[in-house]
A and B are shown apart, each in its own frame.
Chain A
């Protein structure tokens, strides 16, 4: 395949210029860094804008935010939290319904830059093969976390959850946390491409459940322009989500409706003919009908 010989997105850089071909990536890294900076400003500089961490926090002393996944685990373990946690979880849920469930994964989650780096490095080093498991495994892991919580009566997954551990570690002291992160990165690098975020993480699976109702979506608005360069497939952390919308398979509209699209916007960046854009789940009505294709795209 030609994409293995050249850099992904090289065409986009040539067509749109470097900055426009990295726009969403740069913005996304800036948002990730800003979220972390808000949490770190308190302990590092004494500027207490946000207290706590991603599992639960208090912003400016008034806005409670709680991770609904942790709240759900607490419920599974047999504890009904107080109102403050419920309000926080409701706010977070509504927010992610608006911006796309797994937007958490690509715009907020602190593990994402690490696994993105592992995936990038894996491509650059030409590491191929490795273990193969279904991307649906994460839903089995998600169910398992609730089963173990119910069986043990404690919030068991949070004892080992790399996502909350990393965020907590960065803010409250990392301890031996680095070893678990190293394991995740090495796993993604050598054992399974996009292994953690793309196949196993139950947190991503949980947030993907809200994506069924989410408003903000990536739309293949100009899909008739697609030149089958496959850069979007190569760069996408969840490549299976693109095809139906891009190719109009089974009469699908141009909105990428799949639950596991993380709204990272990388496909928008790397597409030289500018097929993709951010839109809403209702963008289908306004977009032009897809052109019938003569040749089936290769994968």
Chain B
């Protein structure tokens, strides 16, 4: 009986211990599950939320950012804010919305200097090397330049004018006698500052800054562009560079860059074009 009692005395605390341990594990485990879900959602950043210059690529930024707001404080234009819990951006992390206030691209980059953890990479010494995102002319139906007007505002406000945004001349096929000046963004120069998006005069911007991974495609790793390879090699890689022979309709010849023209291929020298060159897809 004494041993029975002893066993009971040890059995109950042991059962209690197992119970308590299970309770703790389940309770904290449930909390962990919830926290894990919150963490997953926090990685989804809305495309309008642009990180300050030098920000590490997400989700690494979310491991590095301490949420102290020192970048917010040192931004002289006060464009940065820290996300509050109800916003769809990871709680407490800094961001700006280009349409409300773009990055002014301070040459001394005070926000990066303020960051104590390096979430904004201090190796960024030249603001023109920042890659906050990439501008994309998303709405070609409503962009005034696409309609044939000389709006050009995004091009004019671009801090890297003629590098990050160029105007490419095209034929206005609607009128047949005018040009269109198409704003083209170049990812090798665009910093994603968002000045173009802010300045777009449409009620909703036709050009927008997106996080780079959203804005950019990626060519196949095995793709080689023949003309670049040829330049690099200093000559054709598929030797010899043979003259192309065409089976053309009677009285037609092929002129490189022009397509088919009337006239015998080699006997007759190239004819001056009959129609204005612009209509033939050439540049003015």
**What are the interface flags for A143-185 relative to B under an 8 Å C-beta threshold, 1 for contact and 0 otherwise?**
0110111011111111110001100110111111101100000
Contact status of A56 and B66, CB under 8 A, knowing A81-B117, A165-B92, A172-B82: yes
In the bound complex, residues from chain B placing their C-beta under 8 Å from that of A159 are 35, 38-39, 42, 90-92
In the bound complex, residues from chain B placing their C-beta under 8 Å from that of A81 are 64, 66, 116-118
State which of A27-35, A132-140, A225-233, A278-286 sits at the interface with chain B. A132-140
Smallest Cβ distance from A46 to chain B, in angstroms? 12
A175 touches B92 (CB 8 A): no
Contact status of A154 and B86, CB under 8 A, knowing A52-B73, A159-B91: no
In the bound complex, residues from chain B placing their C-beta under 8 Å from that of A149 are 63
In the bound complex, residues from chain B placing their C-beta under 8 Å from that of A82 are 115-118, 122
A137 touches B28 (CB 8 A): yes
> Is residue A261 within 8 Å, beta carbon to beta carbon, of the partner chain?
no
B35 touches A56 (CB 8 A): no
In the bound complex, residues from chain B placing their C-beta under 8 Å from that of A155 are 62-63, 65-67
Query: Which of A52, A84, A144 interacts with B69 by CB under 8 Å?
Result: A52
**What are the interface flags for B101-124 relative to A under an 8 Å C-beta threshold, 1 for contact and 0 otherwise?**
000000000000011111000100
A177 touches B85 (CB 8 A): yes
B86 touches A175 (CB 8 A): yes
**What are the interface flags for B52-77 relative to A under an 8 Å C-beta threshold, 1 for contact and 0 otherwise?**
00000001101111111110111000
Q: Which residue of B lies closest to A51 (CB)?
A: B73
In the bound complex, residues from chain B placing their C-beta under 8 Å from that of A140 are 24-25, 28
In the bound complex, residues from chain B placing their C-beta under 8 Å from that of A58 are 70, 114, 116
B87 touches A175 (CB 8 A): yes
In the bound complex, residues from chain A placing their C-beta under 8 Å from that of B63 are 74, 77-79, 149, 153-155
Q: Which residue of A lies closest to B34 (CB)?
A: A160
> Is residue A290 within 8 Å, beta carbon to beta carbon, of the partner chain?
no
Smallest Cβ distance from A290 to chain B, in angstroms? 30
Chain A contact patch, size range: 35 or more
In the bound complex, residues from chain B placing their C-beta under 8 Å from that of A79 are 60, 63-64, 117
Complex-state Cα separation, A82 to B38, whole angstroms: 27
> Is residue B142 within 8 Å, beta carbon to beta carbon, of the partner chain?
no
In the bound complex, residues from chain A placing their C-beta under 8 Å from that of B255 are none
Complex-state Cα separation, A42 to B220, whole angstroms: 52
Query: Which of B20, B74, B85, B92 interacts with A134 by CB under 8 Å?
Result: B20
> Is residue B81 within 8 Å, beta carbon to beta carbon, of the partner chain?
yes
Count residues of B near A (Cβ-Cβ below 8 Å).
Answer: 44
B117 touches A56 (CB 8 A): yes
> Is residue B84 within 8 Å, beta carbon to beta carbon, of the partner chain?
yes
> Is residue B270 within 8 Å, beta carbon to beta carbon, of the partner chain?
no
In the bound complex, residues from chain A placing their C-beta under 8 Å from that of B85 are 165, 175-177, 179-180
In the bound complex, residues from chain A placing their C-beta under 8 Å from that of B60 are 79, 153
Chain A stretch 80-95: residues in CB contact (< 8 A) with chain B: 81-82, 84-85, 88
> Is residue B32 within 8 Å, beta carbon to beta carbon, of the partner chain?
yes
B68 touches A152 (CB 8 A): no
> Is residue B43 within 8 Å, beta carbon to beta carbon, of the partner chain?
yes
In the bound complex, residues from chain B placing their C-beta under 8 Å from that of A78 are 63
Complex-state Cα separation, A159 to B35, whole angstroms: 9
Complex-state Cα separation, A56 to B69, whole angstroms: 8
Smallest Cβ distance from B59 to chain A, in angstroms? 5
In the bound complex, residues from chain A placing their C-beta under 8 Å from that of B23 are 133
Contact status of A154 and B68, CB under 8 A, knowing A56-B116, A165-B85: no
Smallest Cβ distance from B108 to chain A, in angstroms? 15
A84 touches B27 (CB 8 A): no
B81 touches A160 (CB 8 A): no
Smallest Cβ distance from A84 to chain B, in angstroms? 4
Smallest Cβ distance from B71 to chain A, in angstroms? 10
B38 touches A85 (CB 8 A): no
Q: Which residue of B lies closest to A76 (CB)?
A: B63
In the bound complex, residues from chain B placing their C-beta under 8 Å from that of A48 are 73
Smallest Cβ distance from B219 to chain A, in angstroms? 28
Complex-state Cα separation, A84 to B74, whole angstroms: 16
A85 touches B117 (CB 8 A): yes
In the bound complex, residues from chain A placing their C-beta under 8 Å from that of B245 are none
Query: Which of B20, B32, B66, B115 interacts with A55 by CB under 8 Å?
Result: B66
Q: Which residue of A lies closest to B33 (CB)?
A: A148
B116 touches A164 (CB 8 A): no
In the bound complex, residues from chain A placing their C-beta under 8 Å from that of B66 are 55-56, 66-67, 70-71, 74, 81, 85, 155
Can you list 24 residue pairs at the A/B interface with Cβ under 8 Å?
A: A51-B70, A51-B73, A52-B70, A55-B67, A55-B68, A56-B117, A66-B68, A74-B117, A82-B115, A85-B117, A140-B24, A148-B35, A151-B36, A152-B39, A153-B62, A155-B66, A155-B67, A156-B39, A158-B92, A159-B35, A160-B91, A164-B67, A164-B92, A172-B82
12 further interface pairs, Cβ-Cβ under 8 Å (given A168-B67, A173-B81) = A48-B73, A52-B73, A70-B67, A79-B60, A133-B24, A148-B32, A152-B39, A154-B63, A155-B66, A164-B67, A165-B91, A173-B82
